Structure 1
């Protein structure tokens, strides 16, 4: 599990624009959203294990002050005192540099995230994803190797598992691919997810994991079951970040994690990775995947990129940031069925494609943005 994470087109037409509505709920239009903490730029030596580009301040250079007066006597006690003062000064500078070198990233709505939920088209995507996966594996050696390895493991693992209706082998294999941290594929996927939604063209031409994203998203929808948080407050989980310090701008803000985000039902597991930021979360759309995970003992709950949380608490414990997020029981989706060139409002008369949850669709923005609310 990656509690320490945090990560060629088709000729279909661009997503159709949705009609704006008078309501302005949790999310505003893309142009008004804050930039995501995981936005990529160029490769850099300071890229962290989460795959995020960060700026690390240089250590402060210690300079010896000039003096025009006489030098102190070079007695043993004087030399020891000077040596001690220099050592203490260096320790202080090193501690200051360590504190400054941990980047601080603002939590926001991650507007460039590719956040398709495939509402109204899951059956058609199931038909197309198999061939799409073969094409993408032919272009991406690590994806092919990871999928083939997970496929063999799935043959052994799935026996004896109780899986929800509609859950297929490809869904389980996708989870095993993601949870296999022996390679960097999960990081590559999340880097692509964090930036692949900047436009429909970027997704179609540069997003190399279309099939994997669909299978993983669909797996979480099936495993989570219906109703969101309509029957309770959500699952309490914990997420530790080893190298990045996340801070909300203010309490009450709506935020997304902006990628597939690993969390654990066990706080102690999360704390092993949480030297910089520890998240306390209640999730309505995260799904328990430990039965399918490469590391079942970590009791993993995987949170999808599109879930919207409210910031309810923020504090600091030494150098560690403590952030509490409660699910709003809503998802923020700029795309829907993007690969099929649809992207517009799902057919309200058809619930078969996403029968897990009863949806209300609120049309908010001008180019295919939608906010979906779980509930009757």
Structure 2
């Protein structure tokens, strides 16, 4: 009997919160885009050597990524968009790091600065040339809290959504979201998936939950979200502010690597 009660309590606690995701990384480089672009290559050098998942994934998709057709996009923008939509394990590991990485951001313990910058910048560049706001749909297998009407929330990670309920990627029918986004961008041209209407929503966009529908034919629970059009970016400009500290760490790490290589070479 006690075991049954314990299991019952555990089952009831499965629902995940829909809140402001205060532990997430939410830098949108507002007011410091060009300054960050000037130092981001240093992050790339460091992360290429110390994040093997990142460097191996990059090598796998680099030759397959689409060529940029937007004037402000570089090949690296196209590669990260292709990588995000092609490699599920990179998408998962990266999003988990973004969801929980607030206190690691702009330090060497967060290993996706380069990836995060180019993904965020790509969304912003594409968004400038598209419809500012659009309705999108996102499906999950997760169970979320129902008591959230009239509250604000963020996804806290990059959210891959579709322009129709007939999603390009069947990704669950437990909790679904009808999202009116004003910061997401259509990434279809650069995606590894060949279906139209693919939208990527950044982690800093804030939504108001306007309704929660249960037993909907489309999904068990449908959350209707409306963009507040006022993003939350607690970490804005942080990379640039901590640039000198990070440069010292990176140069120190690279120096250690060079010394090790020299010793190894001399020992052969």
TM tier, shorter chain? 0.7 to 0.9
Aligned to 1:300: 198
Higher-Rg structure is 1
Structure 1 unaligned spans of 5+: 1-58, 62-95, 344-376
Residues 69-96 of structure 1 show CA distances to partners (whole Å, capped at 9, x for unaligned) of: xxxxxxxxxxxxxxxxxxxxxxxxxxx9
Q: Does 1:287 align with 2:185?
A: yes
Residues 315-370 of structure 1 show CA distances to partners (whole Å, capped at 9, x for unaligned) of: 21178211000111110010112112269xxxxxxxxxxxxxxxxxxxxxxxxxxx
Question: Which structure features the higher share of helix residues?
Answer: 2
CA distance in 1, matches of 2:232, 2:240: 20
CA distance in 1, matches of 2:12, 2:238: 39
Aligned to 1:136: 47
CA distance in 2, matches of 1:108, 1:227: 28
Q: 1:105 aligns with which of 16, 22, 25?
A: 16
SS at match of 2:232: strand
Aligned to 1:257: 155
CA distance in 2, matches of 1:279, 1:333: 22
Counting only pairs closer than 5 Å after superposition, residues 188-267 of structure 1 correspond to structure 2 as 188-197=93-102, 199=103, 203-225=106-128, 229=132, 234-242=133-141, 244-267=142-165
Structure 2 unaligned spans of 5+: 244-268
Q: Does 1:177 align with 2:80?
A: no
Aligned to 1:325: 225
CA distance in 2, matches of 1:271, 1:248: 24
Aligned residues: 238
CA distance in 2, matches of 1:137, 1:324: 39
SS at match of 2:160: strand
Q: 1:127 aligns with which of 38, 41, 59?
A: 38
- Using the TM superposition, give the Cα deviation of residue 203 of structure 1 relative to its aligned residue in structure 2, in angstroms: 4.4
Counting only pairs closer than 5 Å after superposition, residues 84-99 of structure 1 correspond to structure 2 as none
Q: Are 1:108 and 1:248, in contact at CA under 8 Å, matched by a contact in 2?
A: no
Give me the TM-score of the superposition, normalised by structure 1.
Answer: 0.58
Range moving further from structure 2, 261-270 or 314-323: 314-323
Structure showing greater relative contact order (alpha-carbon pairs closer than 8 Å, 6 or more residues apart): 1
Range moving further from structure 2, 218-227 or 169-178: 218-227
Aligned to 2:26: 115
